[in-house]
Amino acid sequence: MSLKDRITEDMKAAMRAREADKLTTIRMLLAAVKQKEVDERVVVDDAALIAIVDRLIKQRKDSISQFTAAGRMDLADKESAELPVLEAYLPQRLNAEETQAAVAAIVAELGASNAADMGRVMAAVKAKLAGKAEMAVVSAAVKQALSR
């Protein structure tokens, strides 16, 4: 079963269970998927869908920090409730040590040695770890690996 099919089934289950908040979040996710399909005239595969989910999670985290800073806890709580629903569609994330090990292996594979190689390393890391690791953690690991 593809990830898109799983999301559709989860939407139906949320309808049956009358879980309004979960249903709204899933519908928002499917709307983002449909928008990408229409805009780019493609059928979204699992990798592209994971990228969409990742982008929506990043947007939610940014919104939570902005709403908290503005004192709008009602909106921050709404965004916080959407996060676990979206995170359920991501593959298992690598922890910090696994991320650092993967980055170190890629740096060694590319023969990168200084900060000038960061763009090349980030492109390779992004291709290998997309959806598996949070890119902020990956960026920090690349900076650390190249500063040695």
Q: For 69-97, what is each residue's pLDDT tens digit?
A: 999 999 999 999 999 999 999 888 888 88
Q: Where in the chain is the domain with CATH 1.10.1510.10?
A: 3-87
Confidence of residue 33 (pLDDT cuts 50, 70, 90): very high
CATH homologous superfamily of 3-87 equals: Uncharacterised protein YqeY/AIM41, N-terminal domain (1.10.1510.10)
> Could you tell me the pTM of the whole model?
0.77
pLDDT of residue 25: 96
Q: Is 121 exposed, middle or buried (0-12, 13-18, 19+ CB in 10 A)?
A: buried
Rounded CA-CA distance 146/45 in Å is 33
Has residue 112 got a pLDDT over 80? no
Residues 96/86, Cβ–Cβ less than 8 Å? no
Percent of the chain with pLDDT over 90: 53
pLDDT greater than 80 at residue 115? no
Domain at 96-146: CATH architecture: Orthogonal Bundle (1.10)
- One-letter amino acid of 102: A
The span from the CA of 42 to the CA of 64, in Å, is 31
The residues, any chain, with a CB within 8 Å of residue 35's CB and separated by 6 or more, are none
